[in-house]
């Protein structure tokens, strides 16, 4: 899919992670605060697609998302979602628009992952959909291995996103702890100096004043 946005702030750092399956695309992109990023995909009528997305870093890990058909009709809209999945069968042929918005945030920079699966996965065997005989042991093993690999891909994607999200939270927590430690150190230093000066003033001997007339 092609992305579109503002020339400066709407530019997405799109990292193509690879089409792991036929007709599938995974993208991880940066979404600045008060900005929106849209992607476009041309599809035929009667085609099935599934959109999965998740916010990896930034703010409360939420984003607005909506999908429009070629006629400009909104077929999906969610606000401030951390993650979601949207399956749909296209009713018209043309360019579909997938938009992610962070316009409600004034300072939180987000990193968003989405996976767009278009069409049904083709059979691993050329004549598998039209054959009437039973699968051989070798063919059945191939199908089983293929399904297991797809499950592994899904699990790897899930754990990769969880790891990235947890790492971001850990780094954010570590930064807050560091700032708090520095603040406590400064406060202790100031209090220590104040106590030393206060105790010093208690034990400072005052000089007797000079005065009185001599005889």
Q: Which 3 state secondary structure label does DSSP give 104?
A: coil
- Contact (Cβ atoms closer than 8 angstroms) between residue 42 and residue 70: no
Task: Find out whether 92 and 105 touch, Cβ atoms under 8 Å.
Answer: no
What is the residue-level pLDDT of the chain in tens, covering all 215 positions?
A: 555 544 333 333 333 333 334 457 888 899 999 999 999 999 999 999 999 999 988 888 899 999 999 999 999 999 999 889 999 999 999 999 999 999 998 888 899 999 998 887 666 666 655 665 666 777 778 778 877 887 887 778 778 877 877 887 788 888 889 999 999 999 999 999 998 888 888 777 665 555 554 44
Give the bridge partners for 89, in sequence order. 48
Longest dimension (CA), the chain: 137
Taking a C-beta distance cutoff of 8 angstroms, is the pair 102, 63 a contact?
A: yes
pTM of the model: 0.62
């Amino acid at each position: 899919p092609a992305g579109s946005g503002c020339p400066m702030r709407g530019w997405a750092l799109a990292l193509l992670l690879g089409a792991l399956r036929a007709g599938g695309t995974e993208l991880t992109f940066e979404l600045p605060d008060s900005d929106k990023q849209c992607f476009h995909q041309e599809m035929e009528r009667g085609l099935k697609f599934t959109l999965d997305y998740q916010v990896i870093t930034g703010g409360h890990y939420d984003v607005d998302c909506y999908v429009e058909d070629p006629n400009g009709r909104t077929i999906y809209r969610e606000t401030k979602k951390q993650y979601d999945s949207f399956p749909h069968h296209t009713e018209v042929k043309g360019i579909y628009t997938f938009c992610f918005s962070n316009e409600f945030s004034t300072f939180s920079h987000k990193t968003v992952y989405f996976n767009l699966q278009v069409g049904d996965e083709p059979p691993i065997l050329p004549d598998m959909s039209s054959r009437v005989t039973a699968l051989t042991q070798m063919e059945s093993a191939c199908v089983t291995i293929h399904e297991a690999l797809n499950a592994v891909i899904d699990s790897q994607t899930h754990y990769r996103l969880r790891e990235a999200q947890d790492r971001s939270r850990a780094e954010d927590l570590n930064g807050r702890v560091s700032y708090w430690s520095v603040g406590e150190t400064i406060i202790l230093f100031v209090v220590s100096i104040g106590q030393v000066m206060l105790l010093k003033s208690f034990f400072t001997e005052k000089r007797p004043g000079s005065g009185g007339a001599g005889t």
